[in-house]
Structure 1
Amino acid sequence: MPKNLEASIDIAAAPEQVWRVVADLKRIPEFSPQTVRTIPFGKVKVGTFALSLNRDGKLFWPTTARVVRFEPNSAFAFKVLENRAVWSFTLEPAGTGTRLIQRRDSPNGTTTFSRKAIELGMGGYDRFDGVLVDGMNRTLQGIKTAVEAGR
């Protein structure tokens, strides 16, 4: 079964600066080692759908997601329709900067297809969750580097 996963990082920038990067779905592949491309359908807000191409090594797969939370400068989340996972970013004031928290929650478990794909094609949950946490940390570091460099 999928576990809830979390990673965080402190960024030397105001939440508004961090938000501009986090809420831009087209930039996800710039930071995420698993996401190859993301295409949002329309202006990003609650209810917006997006299509992504993801990868793990030589394995590629598409996912669709719907934005389920959009609170400027505070919180952003999307639900992956194929596996019911909710990916979120939460921005919290931290001294003179921002703490950025990324989570993957699976409050309703996952689909049979997703469970079988992870067990049979992705090395099982322990390996795949480790890949995801590593990817979350790399994503957060990439966002930090971009925001602090003013990109």
Structure 2
Amino acid sequence: MPNNLEASIDIAAAPEQVWSILADLRRMPELSPTTLKMIAVGGVRDGAYTVNLNKVGWKVYPTTSRIVSYEPNKSLAFRMNENRTVWRYELEPTATGTRVVETRTVDPVKGVPAWLRGTIKVALGGEEKFEADLVAGMNETLSKVKAAAER
């Protein structure tokens, strides 16, 4: 069964500054090592759908998601339609700026579809490697958000 994943970082910038970067989904390709394009259909808001183009190594694939949490300066989350995982960015004010926590959670009842677990096993090196790569990508994304916010 896939695991819930988490990464976090402290950023020396106000939550509003960090939010302006994360909520601009057009910037996701600049921030995430696995995102080539992310388009919010009708704008970034609660309930909006996104169309995404992703990559892992040389493999390129489309996905779609729905924004399930949009709280300015606090929380942005989207549920992937293909695998039911939820990707969330939580912003917490700190004495020196903002702590950002990125999580990927798996539906506790339905899990990840069997077809996708098979694909991960065959094409992406297995669940353990795939999840380690996801966490590395989360850390890279957060580092890039930090660099952009602290400029």
Would you say how many aligned residue pairs link Structure 1 and Structure 2? Answer: 149
Matching residue of 1:53: 53
Matching residue of 2:80: 80
Matching residue of 1:97: 97
Matching residue of 2:70: 70
Q: Where does structure 1 lack aligned partners over 5 or more consecutive residues?
A: none
TM-score when normalising by structure 2: 0.96
Aligned equivalents of 1:104, 1:90: Cα separation in 2: 12
Aligned equivalents of 1:137, 1:2: Cα separation in 2: 19
Root mean square deviation, CA, Å: 0.8
Matching residue of 2:28: 28
Matching residue of 1:118: 120
Aligned to 1:40, what secondary structure does the other structure show?
strand
1:146 matches 2:144: no
- Between the aligned residues of both structures, percent identity stands at 49
TM-score when normalising by structure 1: 0.96
Aligned to 1:33, what secondary structure does the other structure show?
coil
| Divergent runs of 4+, >2 A | none
Aligned to 1:65, what secondary structure does the other structure show?
strand
Aligned equivalents of 1:128, 1:74: Cα separation in 2: 28
Deviation at 1:96, TM superposition (A): 2.4
Alignment of 1:122-137 (within 5 A): 122-137=124-139
Aligned to 1:60, what secondary structure does the other structure show?
strand
Partner letter of residue 125 of structure 2? Answer: G
Aligned to 2:117, what secondary structure does the other structure show?
helix
Aligned equivalents of 2:73, 2:16: Cα separation in 1: 5
Deviation at 1:2, TM superposition (A): 1.2
